[in-house]
Amino acid sequence: MTLAIIGGTGLTQIEALTITGEERVTTPFGEPSAPYLLGELNGKKLVFLARHGNPHRIPPHKINYRANIWGLNQLGVTEIIGVAAVGGIGAEMAPAVIAIPDQLIDYSYGREHTFFADDLEHVTHIDFTEPYSPSLRARIIQAAQQAQISVSTSGTYGCTQGPRLETIAEIKRMAKDGCDLVGMTGMPEASLARELGLAYANISVVANWAAGVVEGEITMAEIEKNLEVGMANAIALLKATVFLND
């Protein structure tokens, strides 16, 4: 069992990760976001990938999700934890909160979102009833409890196109649809992992209230401040989860 961590905004690298090497993988779908870092976290081997590249330079709608996931599969990864900065919509999703979503709604468009598109012998459909691996989610939640890290153990992640933030009207629509969180990278990352049979779960770190949830403009200074706290807790959670990864 090999675990990979995909780090998003605020998690371009993990200082506690002891790097033992790196791999550059050529895929049929182009270049991944960055070299894959091989290393150890809390004494356990894993693979780390910076979703937006290192330095942080690839916007959400330009990420080569297919190459990223294909490359991880080629390296023998069987489980993926995607860490992402998000906006909070639900009342419990305040800035700096960590959430482990169990559902998602995809509002993105125009992205290369499937491996099953060309030169097929037959049309392929995947079951996506539960978009996140229940067993991997359960392990993350168990790790949080053991490490006494407060997390929200459910929620619906709404994936928007980006790179702009959303309007008040868009967030109101998403709230009516049942979204608790809003992010820009949750899809097609999750469905591509499912297509290759890889277990996938998401750790969402709330960087700000979504548009219109509270009064005032969303600023990068606010986001950076909340991410500093939230990502520190997320790294502690990753270390605890990796420790349970046998």
Query: Residue ranges for the binding site for phosphate?
Result: 9, 51-52, 185
Q: List binding-site positions for substrate.
A: 184, 208-210
Cis before 55? omega within 30: yes
Q: Annotate 192-215 with b (16+ C-beta within 10 A) or e (fewer).
A: bbbbbebbbbbbbbbbbbbbbbee
In angstroms, the Cα distances linking 18 to 14, 111, 149, 202 are 9, 33, 23, 23
CA 14-88-134 angle, 5° bins: 65
d(CA 193, CA 66): 9
d(CA 211, CA 207): 12
Q: Which two tokens stand for residue 15?
A: 């200082």
Q: Which two tokens stand for residue 37?
A: 């870092």
Q: Which two tokens stand for residue 180?
A: 């608790």
Q: Which residue has the tokens 């371009």?
A: 12
Burial group, residue 81, by CB count within 10 angstroms (0-12, 13-18, 19+): buried
Q: List binding-site positions.
A: 9, 51-52, 184-185, 208-210
Q: Which residue has the tokens 């868009």?
A: 170
Q: Where are the alpha helices (DSSP H) in 52-211?
A: 65-74, 134-146, 168-177, 189-195
Q: Which two tokens stand for residue 183?
A: 């992010």
